[in-house]
Structure 1
Amino acid sequence: MTGEAAGNGQDGPDELYERLAVHVGQVAAAGGEGKDPVNEPMIRHWCEAMGHPVPADGSAPATMLQVWTMGGLSGHTAGTARSSAYDDVLALLDEAGCTSVVATDCEQEYLRPLRPGDRITYDAVIESISPRKTTKLGTGHFVTTRMDVQANGELSGTHRFRILKYAPARPPDPASPRADAKPAVRATRPRPVVNRDNAGYWEALERHELLIQRCTGCGTLRLPWLPGCNACGCPDWDTVPAAGAGTVFSYVVMHHPPFPAFDPPYAVALVELAEGVRVLGNVTGVPYDKVRAGLPVTLDFLTVDGEFTLPVFRSVEAGEG
């Protein structure tokens, strides 16, 4: 979710933004070192937690890029703390009342596989700070940092991380209606993040097709879409359409917190498709309290706000819905 996607509008330039903007381009962290080299146990534990097979060539899944830079519960070793410039940005926002923070976006680019034994170093820069934005959460600024991750001194990937530091919006007092109050506007769903790696997935949904990536190296199927194969590391792939049959593997019922454009309670399921991959989606055609693991479902499509399409899953059991 970028500032432009999340904000209801951009306020005019102000003194705070001018003070923040001078930090753009300054170092956020320098000379950082991973606490451990890339290693097989961490790769195995991550793959088990994510439900992915360990890549056949022993390399780390590309999406583990940030893992090797984390400090863990004990924090980073001396000399790898973030810079005073980044702390200054956060302090300026705190002083202005922007004391709340939410992570809004993460983008990664992978340039080479990471293999056991690789020593990880990294540097980070404050890449951008947005002008003041007014969002439903409140008013604040989006701060984006870019981390360049090196393996044995060679650039292996880039990690961009964006936060919103904001002053929480105060809920309106129903006992004091404003004279200039406007009619309520129907809330819209959050928009999906579409990028070069997943654009084909969203385009296919508009055609009422759910496309599964297939590695052309080893034939492994995968959802969600990824830039490369977790099984063998091959970057080449094609797609196969999902047949539509599936089974609820796991689910949650959302009761709280209520969110605009959603009407709780409702069920969100992790559905295992007949092809063996799993995908998240709402369950329809059955009351939320009747959803269960093992429920047979079939693929359906929901057009949201007349703008984009999502996969949903309808119960196929007789008498349900």
Structure 2
Amino acid sequence: MTTYEDFAGRETLPLWEGPDPVNVPMIRHWAEAMGDRNPIYRDDAAARATGRPGVVAPASMMQAWTMRGYAATVEGPDAGAAAGARELDALLEKDGYTSVVATDSEFEFHRELVPGDRVSVREVVETISPEKSTALGAGRFVTTVRTYTDQDGEVVAVQRWRLLRFRPKTARAPRPRPAVNRDNAFWFEAAREHRLVIQRCAGCGTPRHPPGPCCPHCGSFEWDAAEASGRGQVYSFVVNHHPRHPAFEYPLIVAVVELDEGTRLVTNLVGAEPGEVEIGMPVVLDWLDADPDLSLPVFRPQSGTAA
């Protein structure tokens, strides 16, 4: 009989080449979306001034170059998976580990990618833990290693990816867990105390969100955190109807709220019907206590702005 220990070293994703080569338009879109103004991602001269051959891709894009895309994804949950992955999923589901949450991702970068590179990825199981008791329910941590290679077969990055497969404690599905790392842990710790904080550069004083290790304006690595007033306005929003996740109530209003302090964050709007929400509508902070270990800021209309 196959045991979890038998999966160590087994392939979950055969070598797969990303659909597109590394290219400047995708780099530009990524940098703009992330608010990363580093000129080495868009200006050849600026990149060469640092000793690089020209524009390079942000290291954080590594995984993006091998994403299969929407059409390949909807072929089915097993599309592109190795036999080992399908067998492992079947065993986990048989043992009741029907829910999944990503817990962490660690990258080791060997070199920067440049336009024209073709990136491939292969994934194998590293370890599967014994059953652990967690706040979400009993589960096993599945750790895999993804190796990224270029068109010459040279390793450009290695990613250690860890998921928790678990049996939910309650019939209601738990809220998906955020990815907490060394850069944003302070923010989630403050949220557990019902404090909304904003990371602020200690060099130039510029506030930023989401948190990051370096100021995109002056490049300083020094920062502190200021507590937000909890007031803002709706910068944009969508109403999510489908697909539905059992942890949420629908229709689900997802908004980008611009705080009075100048930063924006993605959040949920509560206490209003979708038809009542307008761009520029004043909103105030509230808190969602998803579970004993997770509190998240949500916003509701300022008194008198919604029916």
Q: Distance in 1 between matches of 2:203 and 2:10?
A: 42
**1:247 paired residue number:** 233
Q: Deviations over 1:264-296 (max 9, x none)?
A: 445332212234432122324544541222211
Give yes or no for the alignment of 1:60 onto 2:57.
yes
Q: Which residue of 1 aligns with 2:23?
A: 39
Asked if the contact 1:38–1:68 (Cα under 8 Å) also holds between the matched residues in 2, the reply is: yes
| 2:238 aligned with 1:238 | no
**Corresponding residue number in structure 1 for 2:86:** 90
Aligned amino acid, residue 259 of structure 1 = P
Give 1:189 shift: 4.7
Structure 1: state its 5+ residue gaps.
1-14, 76-81, 134-138, 170-183
Provide the residue aligned with 1:114 in structure 2.
Answer: 112
**1:104 aligned partner:** 101
8 Å CA contact retained: 1:43, 1:54: no
Q: TM-score, normalised on structure 1?
A: 0.62
The verdict on how the C-alpha distance between 1:235 and 1:41 changes in structure 2, with shifts beyond 3 A counting, is farther
Q: TM-score, normalised by structure 2?
A: 0.65
- 1:46 alignment partner, SS class: helix
Task: Point out the more displaced range, 277-286 or 113-122.
Answer: 113-122
Q: CA RMSD in A?
A: 4.8
- Cα distance, 1:158–1:215 mapped onto 2, change above 3 Å: farther
Equivalent residue, structure 2, for 1:78: none
**Structure 2: distance between partners of 1:157 and 1:218:** 35
Structure-2 separation of matches of 1:37 and 1:267: 36
**Structure 2 equivalent of residue 180 of structure 1:** none
Shift of 1:306: 4.9
Distance change >3 Å, CA 143–CA 111, structure 1 → 2? closer
Per-residue deviation, residues 195-225 of structure 1 (Å, max 9, x unmatched): 4332211111234332233456776643223
CA gap of 1:141–1:32, structure 2 versus 1, over 3 A, is same
Q: Distance in 2 between matches of 1:192 and 1:217?
A: 29
Give the 3-state SS of the residue equivalent to 1:281 in structure 2. strand
**8 Å contact 1:27–1:83 — kept in the other structure?**
no
Deviation at 1:126, TM superposition (A): 1.0
Q: Which runs of 5+ in 2 are unaligned?
A: 42-55, 73-78, 133-137
Deviates more, 1:141-150 or 1:194-203: 141-150
Corresponding residue for residue 75 of structure 2: none
Q: How far apart, in 2, do the equivalents of 1:206 and 1:97 lie?
A: 32
Query: In structure 2, what is the Cα distance between the partners aligned to 1:188 and 1:102?
Result: 8
**Cα drift, residue 313 of structure 1:** 1.4
Q: How far did 1:254 drift?
A: 5.0
In the superposition, relative to structure 1, how do residues 97 and 259 fare at CA in structure 2: closer, same or farther (>3 Å)?
A: closer
Q: Aligned residues, how many?
A: 278
Aligned twin of 1:296: 282
2:127 equivalent in structure 1: 128
Over 3 Å counting, the alpha-carbon distance change for 1:53 and 1:197 in structure 2 is closer
Is the partner of 1:236 in helix, strand or coil?
A: coil
Secondary structure in structure 2 of the residue aligned to 1:68: helix
Give aligned-pair identity as a percent: 34
